[in-house]
Amino acid sequence: MTAPFATDITLIQSPGAVHAVPSLSVLVPYYHDDPSALMQDLQSQMSPDVELIFYDDGTGDAALNARLGEIVQKSAEAITLMIADKNKGRSEARNALQKTARADWILFLDADMRPGSDSFLTRYKAAITKGDSDIIFGGFTVSDRAERAEQELHRALSHISDCLPLAERKAAGAQFVASSNLCVRKAVLTAQPFDDGFTGWGWEDSEWAARVAKDYRLTHIDNSALHLGLETDTTLLARFKSSAQNYIRFTDKHPELATTLSLYRLSKKLSRVPGQGLLRPIYRAAVVIRFLPMRLRVLGLKLWRASWYASAFNAEARRA
């Protein structure tokens, strides 16, 4: 089934999706990613009470979407593909997916993730059935080695900063919740949607988690997804630079949480150093010179990000 969904979205559904009554909706936004492997992995774990919804956020790749549409239309499972004409950003993409979902529970996955086990969906359904949570985060992992040398820095950074053991995630509460593998009651998202004032990359899921954790029950479980879509050194540099305004928006909304984070303290310290931006070529060199020890490359990337955030803090202070 292919039909217009909204003024700028095309909807493609499997025959099984039309009359499905799911209890869990798995939602996957993608932009310049190929989610076909994830789609097939999830299909192998599906039961009649699960639906999959994929959302192309304006990629404009007709060949990719034709291939995905063919998979959808041949599937016996409940799968929907939404194709947007224009890129609207991660927050709006997730909000559009959430509005389309029919289940009371929603599982967000990034397109470059893979289920960490053959019981991935079953574990989430078991956690939902316990009835003691409104938000469930399963965590994520990375491979022992990146596919390409230019992705190894991202793998190392993720392993150090994001791939935390269950006990550490529980102790940190909302701090390490990410929408890359997030299960949540739809009612929570209806009451507290992602802030579409965030544009581009970064911090919209951190802001959302900090906001909803104040009023809803958050549970961390051991049900990781494998992050395969590691970025290159140059892409990380560009993304960290471009995310500065999103970070300012996050800290403005959650100043008490922000002041507890090492990134905030480092950025504020750099903001008080005259001409600190002149050191960025050194930070960049540390990132891209691959024979340097990895700990120095990670430090260079963190200083690069903090330097741009420091400049954003100063710009905001001048506007005030």
Token pair 């993730």: residue? 113
- Is 84 in the same domain as 175? yes
Whether 74 has a pLDDT exceeding 70, the answer reads: yes
Domain end: 230, 251, 269, which one?
230
What is the per-residue pLDDT for 4? 42
Q: What is the CATH number for 146? A: 3.90.550.10
- Is 49 in the same domain as 191? yes
- Is 163 in the same domain as 77? yes
Query: Which residues, 6 or more positions from 199, have their beta carbon under 8 angstroms from its beta carbon?
Result: 89, 245, 246
What is the per-residue pLDDT for 215? 94
CB 4 within 8 A of CB 11: yes
Least confident residue range of 13-22, 85-94, 98-107, 194-203: 85-94
Categorize the per-residue pLDDT at 173 as very low, low, confident or very high, splitting at 50, 70 and 90.
confident
Pairwise CA distance, residues 222 & 227, whole Å? 15
Q: Please name which of 41, 42, 40 lies closest in space to residue 71, comparing C-alpha atoms.
A: 40
- Is 128 in the same domain as 260? no
- Is 93 in the same domain as 202? yes
Residue 55 has, within 13 A of its CA and on its CB side, a CA count of 29
Please give the tally of structural domains in the chain: 2
Chain-wide mean pLDDT for the chain? 91
Q: Token digits for 186?
A: 């739809």
- Is 217 in the same domain as 242? no
What is the per-residue pLDDT for 98? 87
Determine the average pLDDT of the residues in 62-85: 91
Domain end: 208, 230, 252, which one?
230
Pairwise CA distance, residues 277 & 305, whole Å? 11
- Structure confidence by residue, pLDDT tens digits, 262-312: 999 999 999 999 999 999 999 999 999 999 999 999 999 999 999 999 999
Q: H/E/C letters for each residue in 7-47?
A: CCEEEEECHHHHCCCCCEEEEEEECCCCCHHHHHHHHCCCC
Query: Which residues, 6 or more positions from 99, have their beta carbon under 8 angstroms from its beta carbon?
Result: none
- Is 285 in the same domain as 258? yes
- Is 184 in the same domain as 295? no
Domain end: 189, 207, 230, which one?
230
- Is 79 in the same domain as 183? yes
What percent of the chain shows pLDDT beyond 90? 68
Whether 236 has a pLDDT exceeding 90, the answer reads: yes
- Is 27 in the same domain as 142? yes
Determine the average pLDDT of the residues in 230-244: 95
- Is 172 in the same domain as 54? yes
Q: Which domain holds residue 69?
A: 2-230
Whether 83 has a pLDDT exceeding 80, the answer reads: yes
**pTM for the full model?**
0.88
- Structure confidence by residue, pLDDT tens digits, 117-170: 999 999 999 999 999 999 999 999 999 998 899 999 999 999 998 888 999 999
List C-alpha distances in Å: 292 to 46, 151, 232, 286, 295: 45, 15, 16, 7, 8
- Is 47 in the same domain as 166? yes
